[in-house]
Structure 1
């Protein structure tokens, strides 16, 4: 309880000091890229005033969030918000180790270093780190394994995937890249074919790809005309008689 009150007081004091003094922070910009589940280090380098080590406080914020999610002061247990508990730790002097990166971690992180026992017009050091979280594609929609259609009918196959960067969807038929035409529409999450011909029957493949990998799902389109139904009835009759 004492630690919580102390950290709240320090956070309030830092915000008040920033508002009153109107300092101009010296910012350093960094960009870090990581895959979901990886561990990363968010850099925050600074220089002590006049090159002499003095007591300092480290605050890590998310962009547009006033309350720090991580606060450190030497000699006290670090304070961290619940969603980062167990995932963050300080790498002295002020960098942050972030483990098990999640998609929600993507965005800007701001590191602020405040020097104690300094005059009020002493500027503090700030680093901004952009974390880009990448993820391989994952299907959110898949076409059926087998589709039965008639000549002249329309066919729609759905296929969608998520990932970072956003995956590109490609359709293949009989191992050849499918191109749009008068009867073939290739939409963002659907493949639509109108006025089906026998040449449209075959093996279709939906491929989702980004910089982190690619995945595929297959769908077989089979003609379901009168001949097909006759074959089914014939096969059923043969099975029953035997």
Structure 2
């Protein structure tokens, strides 16, 4: 199967790079490439699994026949529940199982390569600094709450390019060039975590590139790096209402 690892001795950084690549693949399957993923999970097929691959891609496939498998296996039979649940609930369930699988693979490597207590702790800390797949997939719930007040006070499309002061308006209506700032002096730890989660890219799940171009979906109100959804500032100026790949695919299936 694709993604079978080379089990030569590895460092904590090597295992984390593998984890991050597989995580990116799962996030793509459940967000920007969700239409393709949805179609592949036909309930009429046999037990299927969602695999994240180290090269930031993904595949839906049957479990390996090898016993025991070379790597821990993902949740089996994710396709059977597809039509028996609301889509968002099904995707959230797959995301939770995906997070569990990612951790099991990472710490399988930790055991296989003989990581000691400090190395295992460092690996977990590196992993824990990233939002989970579940948090990325369900990001729209938090972002909808955070943006509700701003949305009620403005009728303009979020794809209208606006160079606003982020300090004056932490949730600007319009294409933003960087995520909202954090006020570490006036908020507690829980508020800081919520604020950070609310500024993660809905495609890659990261809050990197503070000076990069961002765009917000007018339907689910999730923010994306422009490069992650292949939208440039020039293209955004001509879009009256932007729909992210996930919302566009949902509309097509209705």
The TM-score by the shorter chain falls in which range? Answer: under 0.3
Higher strand share: 1
Higher helix share: 2
* TM-score, normalisation: structure 2: 0.20
* TM-score, normalisation: structure 1: 0.20
